[in-house]
Amino acid sequence: MNHPYVEIPELSNLQSGSGLVRIPYQQDIPFTPRIRSLVDTAEFRRLSHITQLGFTSLVYPGATHTRFEHALGVYKNALEYLWQLGKDARFSAIIDVHTAEVLIVAALLHDLGHWPFCHLIEDMSLEGIPRHETFAREFLSDGHELADVLRTEWGIEPEEVLDILVPRSDTTEMRLVRSILSGPIDIDKMDYLDRDSLHAGVPYGRNYDKNRLIHSLMVNEAGDGLAIGSKGKTAAELMVFARYVMFSEVYWHHAVRSASTMFARAFYLLYQQLDLTDYFKLTEADSISVLREQAKGTLCERLVEGIFSTKRTLYKRVAEFSYYESSDVFELIAHQPVASLVQWSENLSQRLSQRFNRSVASTDILIDAPPTHREVEFNVEIYSSHNAKYQPLHIVSPVVDTLAQKQFDDFVKRVRVFAHPDIAQECIEMSDFEKLLVESVQETL
């Protein structure tokens, strides 16, 4: 077959159906010897000990899948994208076989730098904490087995992979490759929506036509990113909706956020005592053990034990404010630094101590809010063969314009106040709780 990437073994196996391993749901993953050599390194195997969704399993018990499984799914998507895009003469003229192989490796290793509960920690934007893409360098540096395998089995320098994960060069070629791994219609998003939905046991992230979307892929007008043909418009709209619903019903479910906020407060108070470089290299189980040990005898102990001990004690939601129902309170608190959220929580706990005429610990009240950075907007071009014209998808799609362009975060995320079960009901019954909250915030503004 006259395909520009047919000589790549993994793509050949994808088409022939040979040398495969299977992951949920009924996905056959080409497992060539050189893929196995990467997967069998200690650096990559570590991902099998880090769950994909952290505390989501407290609400959706099946959501215990790992970064390891997700990485294999993203790698499979990379092969499918390359097979489709290789049919586009503009793409194959820009991306040679070697660059295509670097993309395949980067897809497999894209979460290499992830540590346990990584996104929660990243969302806090604390000083001295790197992005997980940057932390991947810890596992790709000289002296690690993974770096040796890349050079000997693939003829790829670790820096080539890192340049995709953490942009260093700025060429048309690299922008195009990066858009496949991290963009509006990328191989990462296409896997996690499907996989997270499958394991959570909900339909939301799987209700779009993945194959239709892949078969509509092409190069954008500038030649430095992905676009879709008009036949993929409906599939893209459904993907936007899938992402919207997964955030509102799964990732930002109030009980998931309760556990997440408990963890975030504990980590905020304890992280300066940790050797973060070593801590971020731990498995999930080991990182939990370290955090539980550090929390002993501190105000964090109830937080940490409430989410990690055999007896679950989650804080209760006592107030919630959305952009469209309580915009004044939402805009006052959302997208503010974690230090401010902590200060406001402590201010509120002091006011509640006075109201209840007994001590309310500073960690008994937690404020959760959308983080300072926003989710990436869904900004992709759609090509109409009828008039040979590229247009932004949100221009021709009211669905995309509404759900993915107009401040996505403000509509799927909430400002919430959580309280320890000992005081939660009293907080709920207070007629002026919102007033106390606003005063606690304005006190330090």
Span 89-142, pLDDT tens digits: 999 999 999 999 999 999 999 999 999 999 999 999 999 999 999 999 999 999
Q: Rounded to 10 degrees, what is the CA torsion of 107, 235, 379, 215? A: 50
The single-letter DSSP state of residue 217 is E
Nearest 5°: the CA angle 113, 114, 120 is 140
Between strands 27-30 and 365-368, the pairing is unpaired
Residue found under tokens 């007994």: 358
For residue 112, the surrounding DSSP H or E stretch is: none
What is the per-residue pLDDT for 1? 59
Point out the least confidently predicted range of 22-31, 250-259, 400-409. 400-409
Instruction: Please check the confidence at residue 242 and state whether its pLDDT lies above 70.
Output: yes
Count how many domains the chain has.
2
Instruction: Please check the confidence at residue 2 and state whether its pLDDT lies above 90.
Output: no
pLDDT confidence band for 405 (50 / 70 / 90): low
* Residue 296 to residues 82, 104, 114, 293, 360, Cα–Cα distance (Å): 51, 44, 26, 6, 19
Q: What is the mean pLDDT of the chain?
A: 95
Do 286 and 403 belong together in one domain?
no
Helix (H, G, I), strand (E, B) or coil at 304: helix
What is the per-residue pLDDT for 411? 85
Instruction: Please check the confidence at residue 375 and state whether its pLDDT lies above 90.
Output: no
* Residue 331 to residues 275, 321, 411, Cα–Cα distance (Å): 35, 9, 12
pLDDT confidence band for 17 (50 / 70 / 90): confident
* Residue 22 to residues 54, 213, 357, 365, Cα–Cα distance (Å): 23, 23, 60, 45
Do 120 and 28 belong together in one domain?
yes
Phi, psi angles (nearest 5°) of residue 185: -120, 70
Do 22 and 90 belong together in one domain?
yes
Instruction: Please check the confidence at residue 266 and state whether its pLDDT lies above 90.
Output: yes
Do 262 and 346 belong together in one domain?
yes
| 218 contacts: CB under 8 Å, gap ≥ 6 | 85, 88, 90, 91, 226, 227, 228, 229, 383
Instruction: Please check the confidence at residue 374 and state whether its pLDDT lies above 90.
Output: no
Nearest to 124 by CA among 412, 284, 339, 269: 339
Instruction: Please check the confidence at residue 152 and state whether its pLDDT lies above 90.
Output: yes
Do 388 and 349 belong together in one domain?
no
Instruction: Please check the confidence at residue 83 and state whether its pLDDT lies above 90.
Output: yes
Q: What is the CATH number of the domain that holds 128?
A: 1.10.3210.10
Contact present, 149 and 37 (Cβ < 8 Å): yes
The whole-number average pLDDT for the span 258-278 is 97
Tokens of 345: 């929580």
Q: Is 382 contained in some domain? A: yes
Please confirm whether the linkage preceding 25 is cis (ω < 30° from 0): yes
Contact present, 412 and 247 (Cβ < 8 Å): yes
Q: Is 265 contained in some domain? A: yes
Contact present, 172 and 166 (Cβ < 8 Å): no
Do 123 and 236 belong together in one domain?
yes
CA–CA dist 80, 58 (Å, integer):
33
Higher model confidence: residue 19 or residue 441?
A: 441
The single-letter DSSP state of residue 404 is I
Do 126 and 270 belong together in one domain?
no
Length of the chain: 445
What is the per-residue pLDDT for 325? 92
Q: How many Cα neighbours within 13 Å face the side chain of 346?
A: 10
Q: Is 267 contained in some domain? A: yes
Q: Is 162 contained in some domain? A: yes
Q: Tell me the percentage of the chain whose pLDDT exceeds 70.
A: 99
What is the per-residue pLDDT for 398? 84
pLDDT in tens, 282-339: 999 999 999 999 999 999 999 999 999 999 999 999 999 999 899 999 999 999 999 9
Residue 301 is part of which domain span? 254-370+413-442
Nearest to 319 by CA among 355, 360, 340, 348: 348
Do 141 and 232 belong together in one domain?
yes
Q: Is 317 contained in some domain? A: yes
CA–CA dist 422, 8 (Å, integer):
61
Tokens of 85: 């895009």
Q: Is 385 contained in some domain? A: yes
Do 234 and 310 belong together in one domain?
no
What is the per-residue pLDDT for 57? 96
Do 392 and 437 belong together in one domain?
no
Q: Is 4 contained in some domain? A: no
Instruction: Please check the confidence at residue 410 and state whether its pLDDT lies above 70.
Output: yes
In terms of DSSP H, where are the helices of 201-299? 210-215, 233-246, 254-270, 276-279, 284-295
Instruction: Please check the confidence at residue 445 and state whether its pLDDT lies above 90.
Output: no
Tokens of 235: 């599939």
Do 239 and 303 belong together in one domain?
no
Do 222 and 303 belong together in one domain?
no
Q: Is 119 contained in some domain? A: yes
The whole-number average pLDDT for the span 28-40 is 97
